[in-house]
Amino acid sequence: MLAAPDKFRGTATAAEVAAAIAEVVEARGGTCDRAPMADGGEGTLDALGGPNRSSVVTGPLGDPVEAGWRLEGRTAVIEMARASGLALVGGPEGNDAVAASTYGTGELLVEAVELGARRVVVAVGGSATTDGGFGALRAMYPPQRFRGVELVVACDVRLGFVDAAEVFAPQKGASDAEVALLRRRLERLVLDYQETYGVDVTDVVGGGAAGGLAGGLAAIGAELVSGFELVAEEIELYERMSPADLVITGEGFVDEESFDGKVIGGISSYAADLEVDLFVVAGQVFDGVSRRVDAVSLTERFGGERAMGATLECVGEAVAERLAQITDAR
């Protein structure tokens, strides 16, 4: 059996959920391979081995923050949320959506290269920012220092660069007037990047990730890739799924968007290809998802209060119930 969940945002990490699933499987005498997953957003660093370095950098609103990152051989993994994330400022209520900057993420990139990294994976998601990557590029100046460095941006969205303002800035505390201002700023950056770097980021798929940070990095030569595919390849997920008789995955909210570049959709596709049974545990299930996959909503099964307050217990009970049903069916 394989446990390959994403995080349950705000209640449990992917590693904690995988452990809760494995505990139930192993208590029944089975074996369970743990493969905590992520799709390029928060949790990607942990899925790829976790931090083994820590640096003090400039936070999204200018205060110093301590950001964990990873350097293994010549490969570095940086999770922008640890340097420029919304959680660092206390959520949208504590954020200044216009002033928030990715400068600290750029500082991490510079340090990684100075310490010898020649491949840098940047996981984007959970940002406080809509600066189009301008802050990061300012910290990274001059961009020539990144010649010969493979920059890979792990994205969990396909959003265009300028559209980041309308789609995500309100979630970061921006008012309607600020959203309009941020859109104009991104439109100006499109022209600036084209003039400075010779790259039109307008139609770069995923360029709007992390408030346009992905597009800004693309302007200096970064490759934007599916975060799910990158993590899956790094941890050899497909190969680990192949011998499993059941794969259990999950995340906090599952809806139709979960099948577009996210963990649930990617694992569902792999399972179908391998003809492996799949079970999805989710905090909440929307949009008739249960018609597409075998899924359980913890909120529906245990009530909202318990699902939020005792998530790991609920995950364990839901998995135990499903395994009992499988056994009875046999």
Cis omega before residue 142 (within 30°)? yes
Distance (Å, whole) CA 215 – CA 79: 16
209 & 60 share domain: yes
- In this structure, are residues 92 and 173 in contact, taking their beta carbons and an 8 Å threshold? yes
Mean pLDDT of 86-108: 98
Segments forming the whole domain that contains residue 254: 2-37+236-329
279 & 133 share domain: no
pLDDT band at 330 (very low <50, low <70, confident <90, very high): low
48 & 31 share domain: no
Residue-wise pLDDT tens digits, 6-17: 999 889 999 999
81 & 208 share domain: yes
Distance (Å, whole) CA 130 – CA 203: 17
pLDDT band at 156 (very low <50, low <70, confident <90, very high): confident
Residue-wise pLDDT tens digits, 171-225: 999 999 999 999 999 999 999 999 999 999 998 999 999 999 999 999 999 999 9
pLDDT band at 318 (very low <50, low <70, confident <90, very high): very high
263 & 177 share domain: no
pTM exceeds cut of 0.85: yes
- Residue ending a domain, among 166, 194, 228, is 228
107 & 223 share domain: yes
Mean pLDDT of 235-252: 96
- Residue ending a domain, among 193, 228, 263, is 228
- Phi, then psi, of 157 in degrees rounded to 5: -135, 160
116 & 213 share domain: yes
76 & 214 share domain: yes
79 & 139 share domain: yes
51 & 135 share domain: yes
Q: What does the chain come to in residues?
A: 330
Question: Residue 133: pLDDT above 70?
Answer: yes
162 & 306 share domain: no
Question: Residue 248: pLDDT above 90?
Answer: yes
What pLDDT sits at residue 243?
Answer: 96
CA distances from 160 to 43, 183, 204, 213, 325 (A): 23, 12, 6, 11, 44
> For residue 89, what is the domain's CATH number?
3.90.1510.10
- The average confidence (pLDDT) of the chain is 96
**Angle at Cα 14 formed by Cα 60 and Cα 321, nearest 5°?**
145
63 & 126 share domain: yes
Mean pLDDT of 293-309: 95
> For residue 256, what is the domain's CATH number?
3.40.50.10350
Q: Out of 129-143, 216-230, 269-283, 285-299, pick the least confident.
A: 285-299
- Residue ending a domain, among 228, 250, 268, is 228
Report the domain count for the chain. Answer: 2
